Structure 1
Amino acid sequence: MAPKVPTVKFNNGKEIPIFGLGTWKSKPGEVTQAVKDAIDIGYRHIDCAMVYGNEPEVGEAIKAKIGEGVVKREDLFVTSKLWNTYHRTDMVIPALKKTLSNLGLAYLDLYLIHWPLAFKDGDDLFPEKDGKIQFSDADYVDTWKEMEKAVKQGLTKSIGISNFNSEQVKRILEVAEIKPVTNQVECHPYLNQKKLIEFCKSKDITITAYSPLGSPDRPWAKPDDPQLMDDAKLKKVAEKYGKTPAQILLRYQVQRGNITIPKSVTKSRIKENFEIFDFELSAEDMKYIDTFDCNGRFCAMDRGINHKDYPFNIDF
């Protein structure tokens, strides 16, 4: 019997399973099976995005499992994200409707602005000229007002942000009629996000930790980049608990109260990642893992570095 995954309560009273399946970099041919396996194992939270290019295949898996009677739609928590080329106000709702059509769903549980930076409007997801990404002057504050309309239209139950720094969160809160429920950010022991977590918590905004395993399969990884899962200190902690390094990393996030969404397409790993609810890290070990922090960001969105809204130019 799969463990019941604890939930986290949002500032709007709705709840999200603290643990879910990420689908970034999951190839269309593999992701349908991965989502089916995850649902069979007990996952009820699936994290998607239009830019991942695999929403139709994720939708197929959801449809199959609802069809088999394994789950009902209301048992699942499905997140997707508005891509950078659709920030212009007249494009937000159509982009969301396209995602719903891709996923074969009538509504999302959560819709996020994927990045605070707007790229040149349109369907070319990485609009380049002379090898440089072209930007749009759309302001994410205006985009947010359209996100609120999506809630009012019943297209999504909750809305949030992703990759926003503390100043950008403040700007949203100044105009928000509906507060963001979460800020989805890269988070793992090399980048533990302590300050941003404390800040968001003070505003009643949860943190969702993406790349909790250090994103070992990121497309731009260099051979000599540090590998979080190979860290000798982490391996020592894992030995102590009789768990894998991955399980320690995931347990660390869950114990901090962060919503956690590791990606995998391998059934054995999807299952292993889920087996973190039968043990607890000691307070000392939690503090020890905190000391691994080295501001080690793996997902820096370098292509947006010259954008006025690039989020990583300040401390947090």
Structure 2
Amino acid sequence: MAASCVSDQRRGVPVAEGRAGVTESVLSALSAGYRHFDTASAYNTEAALGDAVIQAVRDGIVGSREDLYITTKLAVTDAHPGRVLPALHKSLRLVLATQLIIVTLAIWNLQMEYVDLYLIHFPVSMRPPVVEGGLPVVKEDLVEMDMKGVWEEMEECHRRGLARAIGVSNFTCKKLEYLLSFAKIPPAANQVEVHPHCRQNKLRAFCTEKGIQLCAFSPLGAKGTAWANNSVMECPVLKQIAHEKGKTVAQKGHI
């Protein structure tokens, strides 16, 4: 079962703790040994993650940015040709050069020169909002994605060194098959919900065949959220295994 793109020490960056709270959470995770952090433009946590990384390097918790693996995601409002590169620049706190005019972007966010993995968050686009911020998603504003045009710009992000790897999230086998039909750089990863009660057998087999790393979000079932249930944490089988091993369900449930 896939529980991480890269390592067992992976931390999703929480959505609703506020900037200072997120920074504190990330610093605690870094101190505990976590080195892979997953965020997204839509979570509004990139800036807090960037703050934590800068502080962790300054305080000697980690040696350098290169010791970490950072994943972020393209918002549905930016999943349009012409918006992908600016969106990643905004996430990275870079200066965007467009037609010889230097535009300093207002939102600095991650404060990094590159991300290790950049994902298309969903296989759908949304009309760009009048103001910044991609949440909440309004069904009436969803539109079909120009996947070829968007992926070409994802590939350009990789070629420019802004994203060391590119991939997707929430893609089905059918969506991946279509993407692979024209991609010059195939997706390195597909991040979807995976846990003992959502095993994704067909998708996992497809990704293995195509050389795509299947990554999991909500490996513990996202207990306590509005969109999930407690089926993983309350699973009798996992409770028994955890008890026999002297571990918690959270320690054993994602393996």
TM-score by length of 2: 0.86
Q: Deviation at 1:154?
A: 1.3
Alignment of 1:91-102 (within 5 A): 91-101=83-93, 102=109
Alignment of 1:53-64 (within 5 A): 53-64=44-55
Q: Deviation at 1:233?
A: 2.1
State yes or no: 1:243 paired with 2:247. Answer: yes
State yes or no: 1:47 paired with 2:38. Answer: yes
Deviation track 1:83-126 (CA, whole Å, cap 9, x = no partner) reads: 11111110001111111120110111110000001111233514
- The 8 Å contact of residues 48 and 79 in structure 1, kept in 2 or not, is answered as yes
Greater RCO, CA 8 A, separation 6+: 1
Paired with 2:36 and 2:139, the residues of 1 have a C-alpha distance of: 35
Deviation track 1:49-100 (CA, whole Å, cap 9, x = no partner) reads: 0111111111110000111232211111111000111111100011111111
Paired with 2:162 and 2:13, the residues of 1 have a C-alpha distance of: 21
Higher alpha-carbon deviation: 225-234 or 37-46 = 225-234
Which ranges of structure 2 fall in alignment gaps of 5 or more residues? 94-108
- The 8 Å contact of residues 19 and 43 in structure 1, kept in 2 or not, is answered as yes
Q: Deviation at 1:138?
A: 3.1
Paired with 2:16 and 2:203, the residues of 1 have a C-alpha distance of: 28
Q: Which residue of 2 aligns with 1:153?
A: 160
RMSD over aligned Cα atoms:
1.8
Paired with 2:82 and 2:73, the residues of 1 have a C-alpha distance of: 16
Paired with 1:35 and 1:104, the residues of 2 have a C-alpha distance of: 15
TM-score by length of 1: 0.70
Q: Percent identity, aligned pairs only?
A: 38
Alpha-carbon spacing, 1:216–1:133, altered in 2? closer, same or farther (3 Å): farther
Tell me which stretches of 4 or more aligned residues in structure 1 moved more than 4 Å.
none
SS at match of 2:233: helix
Alpha-carbon spacing, 1:117–1:193, altered in 2? closer, same or farther (3 Å): same
- The 8 Å contact of residues 42 and 133 in structure 2, kept in 1 or not, is answered as no
Paired with 1:133 and 1:242, the residues of 2 have a C-alpha distance of: 49
SS at match of 1:230: coil
State yes or no: 1:25 paired with 2:34. Answer: no
SS at match of 1:160: strand
Q: Which residue of 1 aligns with 2:76?
A: 84
Paired with 1:146 and 1:115, the residues of 2 have a C-alpha distance of: 16
SS at match of 1:161: strand
Alpha-carbon spacing, 1:127–1:240, altered in 2? closer, same or farther (3 Å): closer
Paired with 2:33 and 2:40, the residues of 1 have a C-alpha distance of: 21
Alpha-carbon spacing, 1:132–1:198, altered in 2? closer, same or farther (3 Å): closer
Paired with 1:18 and 1:180, the residues of 2 have a C-alpha distance of: 21
Which of 152, 164, 170 does residue 163 from structure 1 map onto?
170
Deviation track 1:183-242 (CA, whole Å, cap 9, x = no partner) reads: 000001110111111110100011111000000122345xxx553201222211111111
Deviation track 1:111-160 (CA, whole Å, cap 9, x = no partner) reads: 000000111123351477xx744123332232111000001111111000
Q: Deviation at 1:177?
A: 0.9
Paired with 2:227 and 2:61, the residues of 1 have a C-alpha distance of: 37
Paired with 2:232 and 2:69, the residues of 1 have a C-alpha distance of: 29
- The 8 Å contact of residues 127 and 133 in structure 1, kept in 2 or not, is answered as no
SS at match of 1:60: helix
Q: Which residue of 2 aligns with 1:281?
A: none
State yes or no: 1:136 paired with 2:127. Answer: no
Q: Which residue of 2 aligns with 1:314?
A: none
Q: Which residue of 1 aligns with 2:66?
A: 74
Q: Which residue of 2 aligns with 1:3?
A: none
